[in-house]
C-alpha cells in the first residue's frame, strides 16, 4: 500500500480540493515519506519530535514561514487520514504551533490606473481583443487568474450578463458582468475568438492562444506585464482582482456581498480589503457617529 498515493486520491476525489492544493499537499507528503525512509522509520513511529526534526531540516533548506505552515497543514491532514484508515493511532502534528504569518495588504490600482493599463491594448487584432476582454473581465468580475483561463463558453450567459465561475475547491459562483465587460466579451467572441479558433483543437475555453488552444497562466502573466510596463505602472494580473474588491467597498458595497463575488470561503479573507486611510476613518467617525455632535467643545449641532 502506498499511503501517499491513497491520501492524494482522498484529497482529490473525496474532499474535492483544488488541484493546486492537492499538488502542494502531495509534494510535501512525498518529501516527508522520503525523509522517514532515509532514517529507517515507519509512519507509526512518528511523534512530535520526528515532525520537528523534519521541519528543522526543511528550514535549513531555506523554506519560509508560509511554506512551513503549508507543510504542517499537509501533515495534519495526512495523519488524520491515516488515523481514519487505522494506519496510526495518534496525530503527532496536533500540538505543533503554526508560524505567525503577517497579513500584508494587497497592492491596489486606482480606477485611473486600471483605465490607463487597458487603454494600452491595441484592439485591432484578435489577440488584442482577447487581451482587452480578458483583463477587463478579471477587473470587472474580480476573477482569479485560474478562473479566467478556465472559463468556458457555456459558462458565459450574454443575455443575463452573467458568468458562472468555477473557483477554489471546484465551487461554483455566479458573477454579474458590468456593461463594459459584457461589451468586450461579446465583441471578442464574435470578432476575435472566431479568428483564433482552430477546429482541430476544438477548445471550449473562452480565452485562446494564437494556436487556438487554451491560454496559459504564463501567457497571461507575460502579456499583462508587457501592457502595464507600456503604461508605466508596476502591477501584476492579480492586482486587478484586489482593485475590484477595494473599489467595490469604497463605493459602498457590503463585506458579505464582496465575499460572495470573490468566492472567499471565510469573510476574514475579504476583510484585508477594508484598508481605509486614517484620515478617512476620522472623517467617517466625525460624520456618522451618533454621539459625535454631543461632545463638549465640538462645534455644530
Model confidence over 182-228: pLDDT tens digits?
A: 999 999 999 999 999 998 886 799 999 999 999 998 889 999 999 99
**Per-residue CA distances from 146 to 73, 215, 288 (Å):** 23, 10, 40
**Model pTM score:** 0.60
- Annotated catalytic residue within 164, 168, 187, 214: 168
The domains located in the chain, with CATH, are 3-85 (1.10.150.130), 111-288 (1.10.443.10)
Kind of pairing between the strands at 156-157 and 162-166:
antiparallel
CA distance 80 to 15: 13
For position 230, what pLDDT does the model report?
86
For position 136, what pLDDT does the model report?
95
238 catalytic per annotation: yes
273 catalytic per annotation: yes
For position 290, what pLDDT does the model report?
53
Q: How confident is the model at residue 295 (pLDDT cuts 50, 70, 90)?
A: very low
CA distance 249 to 270: 10
285 catalytic per annotation: no
- Annotated catalytic residue within 58, 173, 195, 238: 238
12 catalytic per annotation: no
Of the two residues 99 and 241, the one the predictor is more confident about is 241
For position 200, what pLDDT does the model report?
84
- Annotated catalytic residue within 193, 241, 242, 247: 241
Rounded to 10 degrees, the C-alpha dihedral 157/159/160/166 comes to 0
For position 264, what pLDDT does the model report?
87
For position 296, what pLDDT does the model report?
46
289 catalytic per annotation: no
- Annotated catalytic residue within 144, 164, 195, 236: 144
For position 243, what pLDDT does the model report?
92
56-70, 85-99, 272-286: lowest mean pLDDT where? 272-286
Residue of 87, 99, 72, 90 lying closest to 42 (CA atoms): 87
pLDDT higher than 70, residue 117: yes
Q: Which three cell numbers stand for residue 285?
A: 467617525
Backbone angles phi, psi at 93, to 5 degrees: -95, -5
144 catalytic per annotation: yes
Could you read off the pLDDT of 1-36 as tens digits, one per residue?
A: 688 889 998 888 877 776 777 888 899 999 999 999
Amino acid at each position: 500500500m502506498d499511503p501517499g498515493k491513497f491520501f492524494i486520491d482522498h484529497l482529490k476525489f473525496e474532499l474535492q480540493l483544488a488541484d493546486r492544493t492537492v499538488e502542494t499537499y502531495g509534494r510535501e507528503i512525498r518529501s516527508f515519506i522520503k525523509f522517514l525512509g532515509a532514517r529507517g522509520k515507519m509512519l507509526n513511529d512518528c511523534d512530535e519530535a520526528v515532525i520537528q526534526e523534519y521541519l528543522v531540516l526543511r528550514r535549513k533548506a531555506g523554506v519560509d514561514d508560509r511554506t512551513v505552515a503549508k507543510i504542517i497543514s499537509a501533515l495534519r491532514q495526512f495523519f488524520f487520514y491515516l488515523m481514519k484508515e487505522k494506519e496510526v493511532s495518534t496525530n503527532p502534528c496536533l500540538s505543533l504551533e503554526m508560524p505567525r504569518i503577517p497579513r500584508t495588504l494587497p497592492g491596489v490600482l486606482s480606477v485611473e490606473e486600471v483605465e490607463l493599463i487597458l487603454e494600452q491594448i491595441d484592439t485591432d487584432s484578435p489577440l488584442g481583443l482577447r487581451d482587452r476582454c480578458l483583463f477587463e473581465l478579471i477587473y470587472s468580475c474580480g476573477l482569479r487568474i485560474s478562473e479566467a483561463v478556465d472559463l468556458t463558453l457555456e459558462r458565459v450567459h450574454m443575455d443575463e450578463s452573467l458568468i458562472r465561475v468555477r473557483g477554489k475547491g471546484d465551487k461554483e459562483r455566479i458573477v454579474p458582468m458590468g456593461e463594459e465587460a459584457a461589451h468586450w466579451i461579446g465583441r471578442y467572441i464574435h470578432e476575435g475568438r472566431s479568428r483564433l479558433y482552430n477546429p482541430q483543437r476544438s477548445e471550449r475555453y473562452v480565452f485562446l492562444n494564437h494556436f487556438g488552444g487554451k491560454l496559459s497562466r504564463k501567457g497571461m502573466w507575460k502579456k499583462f506585464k508587457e501592457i502595464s510596463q507600456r503604461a508605466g505602472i508596476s502591477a501584476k494580473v492579480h492586482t486587478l482582482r484586489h482593485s475590484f474588491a477595494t473599489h467595490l467597498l469604497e463605493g459602498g458595497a457590503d463585506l458579505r456581498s464582496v465575499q460572495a463575488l470573490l468566492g472567499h470561503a471565510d469573510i476574514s479573507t475579504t476583510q484585508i480589503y477594508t484598508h481605509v486611510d486614517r484620515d478617512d476613518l476620522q472623517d467617517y467617525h466625525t460624520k456618522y457617529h451618533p454621539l459625535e455632535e454631543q461632545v463638549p467643545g465640538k462645534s455644530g449641532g
